[in-house]
Amino acid sequence: MRLLIAMMKHETNTFSPVPTPLARFGHGPGPLYGEAAINAYRGTGSGLGAYLDLAERKGAEVLLPIAAGASPSRPVEDAAYEHIAGIICDAVAKGGFDGILLDLHGAMVTESFEDGEGELLRRIRALDPTTPIAVAYDMHANLYPAMIENATVVAGYRTYPHIDTYDTAHRAGEILLASLRGAVRPVMAWGNVPMLPHVMRQGSDDHPNRELQARVAAMSTEGALAASLFTGFPHADIANAGLSAVVVTDGDQALAERLRDELLDRAWGEREAFLYRLEPLEQSLARAKALDPPQPGEGPIVLLDHYDNCASGGTMDTTAVLAAILRAGLDNVAAFAIYDPAAVQQAIAAGIGSEIALAIGGKMAMPQIPGESRPVTVTGTVNTISSGRFRNKGPMGRGVLTDMGPSVVIDTGKVEIALISRHVEPSDLNCFYALGIDPMQKRFLMLKSRIHWRAGLGNVAKSVVECAGMGVCTSDYSQLSFKNVRRPIYPLDLPNR
């Protein structure tokens, strides 16, 4: 058996100013290819890790031409997309594969295409109309017809934080392998409803997504080979942004459609529970200050800077929350992180132990949202200088190499501020330990994150205070000027379906 395996992943925030060239993909300057990609992902808890395990179990010969994943940012540059899609399509064109296993995101927008994944699948199908294709998608996928119609089987994550990337690809791959030996004949039904669930309300540990995903999982006992409910990615001004569902059954189209409709109806019925209530920043910090400090054995209080999550396209350099923390005089704080490669180099030049004053953050303009983020000047000691590389402790992406780029920690006496040179969301405890910060010894942790921080820190945090700051993954959707999303859509227009 010969299998073609590839990864192309990007969640596109069309409001983000952060560029997406080819160099943003991968763990260094660009994607990984061939053996290097296999070596990077084999044995990891990633989608590619699952596909490689399945291939090994089958004794299959594997071609993995490219593994390209980038942290979320603005639409992918055409040259980058053509390079990645081109390498996958060149491999497809060579032919001789029994199956194609793709680890995609599902919310990739390029300079030319609203639907990067659908365009890739359309090109693959034009070259090869018959080889079965399995696709794993992120729960934030914004589905388009071409993403389903040009695949044989599709499966989506059921957890947010995404701790089931491996399980999802494994599920998609197993169904594909079963179809190759004639054990099943997958058919799919998909659809969407006009709603944009708020990202802060999408966590699968919270109502209503907890119950919705439980229902998705239960459908496996009612004839679904794979059922998926995609909460979608709303910071994408594209026609099909929003919630959707796909159900795969064994040859029973009517059943697939019935289960799909049930998922969409249930989600629509919960639309108000997906709304998010904002609190003014100063009020949040006053509330945090009044909380009892952690007792021995208790973890830190998380101050969540959720408007500027780099894993949703944030610049990770806005300073509203950090500046307010400094103004409020909070003590024993660690902040992860401000993206500022220039400030990192200044701190490295100053050297370990030196006292410096640095203007950090606020360097990237955000023309698509109101307001302006200014640098904040901090004075402190250069505590840590690091290569910024670590392997994830998990549960998210266990074993996968994460690269923060050259990184430093500036200690103001009250606040330890991590400065990094590549965008990394704090979803893994090792992002702190790699920089010499023990998060368990801190009273407060400022995290630029929305939901994924819970993967590594959710079960150790004493409590969380959500802080409305500034950034292109703003939680105030009235700051986003939608022009292309289909209308009417909930909650922008409060329509009846």
User: Does 363 contact Zn ion by CB under 5 A?
Assistant: no
User: Does 117 contact Zn ion by CB under 5 A?
Assistant: no
Q: How far is the CB of 425 from Zn ion (least distance, A)?
A: 11
Q: How far is the CB of 331 from Zn ion (least distance, A)?
A: 34
User: Does 158 contact Zn ion by CB under 5 A?
Assistant: no
Q: Which is nearer to Zn ion, 65 or 232 (CB)?
A: 232
Q: Which is nearer to Zn ion, 121 or 199 (CB)?
A: 199
Return the closest-CA partner of residue 375 out of 334, 318, 330.
318
Q: How far is the CB of 114 from Zn ion (least distance, A)?
A: 18
Q: How far is the CB of 140 from Zn ion (least distance, A)?
A: 4
Residue list 252-311, contact with Zn ion (CB under 5 A): none
Q: Which stretch binds Zn ion (CB under 5 A): 39-47, 136-144, 317-325, 364-372?
A: 136-144
Rounded CA separation 388/419 (Å): 10
Q: Provide the terminal-to-terminal Cα distance of the chain, rounded to the nearest Å.
A: 47
Return the closest-CA partner of residue 184 out of 173, 192, 194, 195.
173
Residue list 368-397, contact with Zn ion (CB under 5 A): none
Q: Which residue's structure tokens are 């439980």?
A: 214
Q: Which stretch binds Zn ion (CB under 5 A): 74-82, 134-142, 185-193, 480-488?
A: 134-142
Question: CA angle, corner 75, sides to 396 and 5, nearest 5?
Answer: 50
Q: How far is the CB of 47 from Zn ion (least distance, A)?
A: 12
> For Zn ion, how many residues bind (rule: CB under 5 A)?
2
Q: Which is nearer to Zn ion, 434 or 455 (CB)?
A: 455
The amino acid present at 486, given as its one-letter code, is R
Q: Which stretch binds Zn ion (CB under 5 A): 140-148, 293-301, 418-426, 486-494?
A: 140-148
- How many residues does the structure list for the chain? 497
- Stated as kind and residue range, the H or E segment containing 249 is strand 244-250
Q: Which is nearer to Zn ion, 71 or 150 (CB)?
A: 71
Give the start-end residues of each E strand in 138-232: 153-156, 186-192, 224-230
Which residue's Cβ has the minimum distance to Zn ion? 140
User: Does 140 contact Zn ion by CB under 5 A?
Assistant: yes
CB-side neighbour CA atoms (13 Å) of 389: 5
Q: Which residue's structure tokens are 């989608």?
A: 47
Rounded CA separation 119/171 (Å): 23
Return the closest-CA partner of residue 408 out of 331, 324, 311, 338.
338
Q: Which stretch binds Zn ion (CB under 5 A): 138-146, 198-206, 276-284, 317-325?
A: 138-146
User: Does 138 contact Zn ion by CB under 5 A?
Assistant: yes
Do the strands 407-411 and 153-156 form a parallel or antiparallel pair, or are they unpaired?
Answer: unpaired
Binding site for Zn ion (CB under 5 A): 138, 140
